[in-house]
């Protein structure tokens, strides 16, 4: 089931790819090493926790500044997919601010983040300029 306002994943990746800002994000060496060491299930669990704690509340703490630019693969994925704060969620994913995210919306976001991370983990880091 698709959350209200969430467009199909391919469509959102297509739009993100046309944003110079969003398409600039890459997993760094440390984040890749961390993702490899922890494994996909653990990273996905972290993604669920981060989204539930930092993004899902109707009025998230420090909204707009709650997601560091680096330091965890999920943080980078959040910026790359415009799931970093409620303003970006509204602008890119048409999810209105001021209300809590539904469990379905949270699951869609986690799915998007993990899809982005999967893509990053399967490309050769040296192929990036």
Residue 83 binding Zn ion, by CB under 5 A? no
Q: How far is the CB of 35 from Zn ion (least distance, A)?
A: 22
Q: Is 84 in the site for Zn ion (CB under 5 A)?
A: yes
Cβ burial, residue 32 (10 Å; 0-12/13-18/19+): middle
CA separation for the pair 23, 10 (Å, rounded): 14
6 contributes a contact to Zn ion by CB under 5 A: no
How many chain residues interact with Zn ion (CB under 5 A)? 3
Considering only residues 14 to 43 of the shown chain, the ones binding Zn ion according to CB under 5 A are none
Which listed range, 3-11, 27-35, 46-54, 85-93, lies at the site for Zn ion (CB under 5 A)? 85-93
By C-beta, is 68 or 125 nearer to Zn ion? 68
Tokens for 3, please give them: 């959350």
- Does 95 participate in binding Zn ion (rule CB under 5 A)? no
Please, what is the minimum distance in Å from the beta carbon of residue 102 to Zn ion? 19
Please give the structure tokens belonging to residue 90.
Answer: 């509204």
88 touches Zn ion by CB under 5 A: yes
Query: How would DSSP label each residue in 59-74?
Result: S-TTTTSSS-SSSSHH
Q: Is 98 helix (H, G, I), strand (E, B) or coil?
A: coil
Q: What is the dihedral of CA 43, 45, 51, 52, to 10 degrees?
A: -160
Which residues contact Zn ion (rule: CB under 5 A)?
84-85, 88
């Amino acid at each position: 089931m698709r959350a209200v306002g969430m467009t199909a994943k391919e469509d959102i990746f297509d739009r993100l790819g046309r944003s110079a800002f969003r398409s600039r994000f890459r997993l760094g060496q440390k984040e890749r090493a961390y993702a490899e060491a922890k494994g996909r299930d653990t990273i996905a669990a972290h993604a669920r926790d981060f989204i539930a704690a930092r993004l899902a509340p109707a009025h998230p703490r420090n909204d707009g500044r709650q997601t560091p630019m680096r330091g965890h693969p999920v943080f980078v994925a959040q910026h790359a997919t415009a799931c970093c704060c409620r303003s970006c969620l509204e602008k890119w994913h048409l999810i209105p601010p001021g209300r809590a995210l539904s469990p379905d919306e949270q699951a869609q976001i986690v799915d998007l983040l993990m899809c982005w991370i999967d893509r990053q983990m399967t490309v050769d880091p040296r192929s990036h300029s």
